[in-house]
Amino acid sequence: MASPDRPSKPSLPQRFPFFYGWVIVFVGGLSIATSAPGQTNLIAIFVDPMIEGLDVSRSTISTLFAAGTLAASFGMAIIGFMIDRYGPRSIMIFSVLVFGGVVMLMGVIPSEPALATLIGLFLGFFGLRLLGRGALNMLGTIMVALWFRKKRGRATSYASGAGWLVGLGVFPPIASWLIGDFGWRETWFVMGAGIWIIMLPPAFFLIRRTPESMGLLPDGETPVENGESADGEPAAPVSADPEDSWTVREALRTRSLYFILFASMAWATLGAGMVFHHTSLLEARGVSSDAAAWSISAIAVMNFVGNIVAGRLNDRFPNNYTLVIAQSSLMLALLLALVVNNEWQAWVYAGLLGLTQGMVLNTGNVIWANYFGRKNLGSIRGATMWVVGVTSAVGPLPIGLLFDITGGYTIGLWLYIALLAPMIVSAAFAVKPTGHLNPGA
């Protein structure tokens, strides 16, 4: 009988001329790119057209976005558990099928009666955030983390950086053009169909669960010994470097986990709020609507740069150092937002947001596996990601409400600056937990 950990015949990944983990990086990047319709950056393009087309206020759509994000956050734990139990491939196929349908349905939200509009917006935002920002984004990074260890930061930076560059550098201008020429409803439908076309083939044919299940080791590492098991079949590959393997309960007992969570709220809450109101804020500062919309591309480009930089840093230095650097960049962006009043400042501001986003995303994606191991990674991510989701749901709301009350963004920006300071301190204390090594758990 063949060993459950290693197939008796060479698997497809074993026959590849290079380490199959890089194929997983490619698929992970596609997954992150196609999660764009569920990300704040792209949804922001639709906010003003939907406000006009559905006859709702900015505070109303902000509240419904927050409510949908909040509800979706509580589904993260279930998704993480399902990834650990059934593997990334099955959950990816299901998520892509449903997510594409939800994106299409955003285009048929009724403009009347008012109650139907509100329900449609809430359910739409719920589906976009649960399956786009949640499932596809989390799957893209978890798959890479399962296939890499020593090169995890670098590999994740390629998947996440390229995914966000395509998803948020290419999709927003295309969406803006399609909305202008054809309408926001038609644009939602085109994007939903695109998700199916792009993601279903690799989901079915390329995803593999872990390197060990294919007779390989993370990073393409050479095993210490590779003899035969008791039944005469090839033994599972053995790594020369044992890995921590924390359970969810053990991870929840560490102080580091809570420092990471509080530090992560910086981008999830404040960054998400800034991106959600990006075009409106710049237009309120005198920047043209076209320049405000196109500056979102700078967010995507600098997101890629931030991912690459953070990937190198996270493979060589403690991950909390990168969090501190990233949040300092966000502080600079918030301060610049107080005074921005022309196009070049708008591009610099957008670039700082993107740099922060890239560094936070890379660190947030690798720190959980680096600190707590791979075996229960989906469950640990799911058990913690809902907290970040809840805070991201709150993010756009206060600055939107303060805009409606005061007619500007200045007070909301100062509120964000005051909240960011303790989050930077928390990042400094988010050190790797020690005193645990249980590779066989």
Least confident of 6-20, 200-214, 330-344: 6-20
Render pLDDT for 387-413 as a digit per residue (tens, 0 to 9): 777 777 677 778 878 888 888 888 988
Mean pLDDT computed over every residue of the chain: 85
Which pLDDT score is estimated for 344? 87
Q: List CB contacts of 174: < 8 A, sequence separation 6 or more.
A: none
Nearest Cα residue to 11 out of 186, 184, 212, 149 = 212
Which pLDDT score is estimated for 1? 42
Residue 302 has pLDDT above 60, yes or no: yes
C-alpha gyration radius of the chain: 22
What one-letter code names the amino acid at 205? F
- Say if 209 falls within a structural domain: yes
Render pLDDT for 21-54 as a digit per residue (tens, 0 to 9): 999 999 999 999 999 999 877 888 898 899 988 9
Which pLDDT score is estimated for 239? 60
| CA 426 – CA 431 distance, rounded (Å) | 10
Four-CA torsion 412, 414, 419, 424, nearest 10 degrees: 130
Q: What are the backbone angles phi and psi of residue 257, rounded to the nearest 5°?
A: -60, -40
Q: How open is the CA angle 374-387-352, to the nearest 5 degrees? A: 90
The residue ranking higher by pLDDT, 167 or 194, is 194
pLDDT bucket at 19, cuts 50 / 70 / 90: very high
- Say if 434 falls within a structural domain: no
Which pLDDT score is estimated for 399? 81
Q: Which two tokens stand for residue 305?
A: 């740069």
Which pLDDT score is estimated for 342? 85
Which pLDDT score is estimated for 14? 82
* DSSP-assigned letter for residue 245: -
| CA 441 – CA 439 distance, rounded (Å) | 6
Q: Which residues of 151-190 are buried (b: 16+ CB within 10 A; e: fewer)?
A: bbbbbbbbbbbbbbbbbbbebbbebbebbeeeebbebbbe
Which pLDDT score is estimated for 226? 53
pLDDT bucket at 230, cuts 50 / 70 / 90: very low
Positive or negative, the CA dihedral 172, 323, 260, 241 is positive
- Say if 49 falls within a structural domain: yes
CATH of the domain at 58: 1.20.1250.20
pLDDT bucket at 229, cuts 50 / 70 / 90: very low
Q: Which domain holds residue 109?
A: 15-219+240-428
| CA 193 – CA 100 distance, rounded (Å) | 6
Residue 300 has pLDDT above 80, yes or no: no
- Say if 440 falls within a structural domain: no
Which pLDDT score is estimated for 294? 79
- Say if 435 falls within a structural domain: no
The residue ranking higher by pLDDT, 167 or 124, is 124
| CA 333 – CA 167 distance, rounded (Å) | 22
pLDDT bucket at 8, cuts 50 / 70 / 90: low
- Say if 350 falls within a structural domain: yes
Q: What percent of the chain has pLDDT over 70?
A: 91
Which pLDDT score is estimated for 165? 81
pLDDT bucket at 440, cuts 50 / 70 / 90: very low
- Say if 274 falls within a structural domain: yes
Which pLDDT score is estimated for 242? 67
Which pLDDT score is estimated for 391? 75
Residue 104 has pLDDT above 50, yes or no: yes
Tally of domains within the chain:
1
- Say if 73 falls within a structural domain: yes
| CA 62 – CA 66 distance, rounded (Å) | 6
Residue 227's Cβ-count burial label (10 Å; 0-12, 13-18, 19+) is: exposed
pLDDT bucket at 6, cuts 50 / 70 / 90: very low
Which residue reads 């329900």 in tokens?
Answer: 119
Residue 64 has pLDDT above 60, yes or no: yes
Which pLDDT score is estimated for 224? 67
Render pLDDT for 128-145 as a digit per residue (tens, 0 to 9): 999 998 899 999 999 999
Render pLDDT for 78-94 as a digit per residue (tens, 0 to 9): 898 899 889 999 999 99
Measured between its terminal Cα atoms, the distance across the chain in Å is: 25
Residue 219 falls in which region: left (phi positive, over 0), alpha (psi -120 to 50) or beta: left
Residue 430 has pLDDT above 50, yes or no: yes
